[in-house]
Amino acid sequence: DAGVIQSPRHEVTEMGQEVTLRCKPISGHNSLFWYRQTMMRGLELLIYFNNNVPIDDSGMPEDRFSAKMPNASFSTLKIQPSEPRDSAVYFCASSTARRNTGELFFGEGSRLTVL
Amino acid sequence: RKEVEQDPGPFNVPEGATVAFNCTYSNSASQSFFWYRQDCRKEPKLLMSVYSSGNEDGRFTAQLNRASQYISLLIRDSKLSDSATYLCVVNMRNSGYALNFGKGTSLLVTP
């Protein structure tokens, strides 16, 4: 079975450039989450969607970050312009909100380095 | 102050040892509790849920103390393959299904 698919797996870019991270959730899952992980702050929830609708974006650091979910099978997280402090691993996760079992299925992450 | 606090470790233990991790959470409205496991440079994966009465899954035992806002994970007969970071996770009813993760406790099991 296909899990959560994220792309790119690695990205190195220069400060000021636009970065777009992509996520395909598990088919049938109706909740999608974007997390960011750093050594200093651990895993932080950025935003989550339920049935393609953003429910809570209070974790989005600032206006440079935006996320969209145009349909049930695709989401993007965009950073524009990027800054060195945005360097982190960005994880996308999905779940079935019908059963709150606490099981989020994570993608392998997108490791972003901003120089 | 982060909502979920864990001792970062690392915990270095020999094979066969018993090791315990603790976690505290700050919001008394927290409703659901979990332990996740994260291997080096991999994604987190659910290890087990934590129930009020305590629960066991093989060598793993999880306990919850709501009065003290404290969660624990006990690993018996440690294996080399248990080496990983263990993340304490809580969910509040009013946060929908979003989970708040602790920064994790690192475990290294040595031969």
Q: Which residues of B touch A55 (CB under 8 A)?
A: 96, 98
- pLDDT for residue A103: 83
Given a cut of 90, whether residue B91 has pLDDT beyond it is no
Min Cα separation B20/chain A (Å): 21
Sheet holding B4-6, edge to edge: B4-6, B19-25, B70-75, B60-65, B55-57
The B-side interface with A (CB below 8 A) comprises 2, 32-34, 42-46, 49, 87, 89, 91, 95-104
Residue type, B105: T
What pLDDT, in 10s, does the model give residues B67-78?
999 999 999 999
Mean pLDDT of B83-102: 83
What pLDDT, in 10s, does the model give residues B26-65?
988 878 899 999 999 999 999 999 988 889 999 999 999 9
Partner residue opposite B32 with nearest CB, options A43, A95, A102: A102
When scoring B43, B64, B103 by the number of chain A Cβ atoms within 10 A, the one with the most, hence best to mutate, is B43
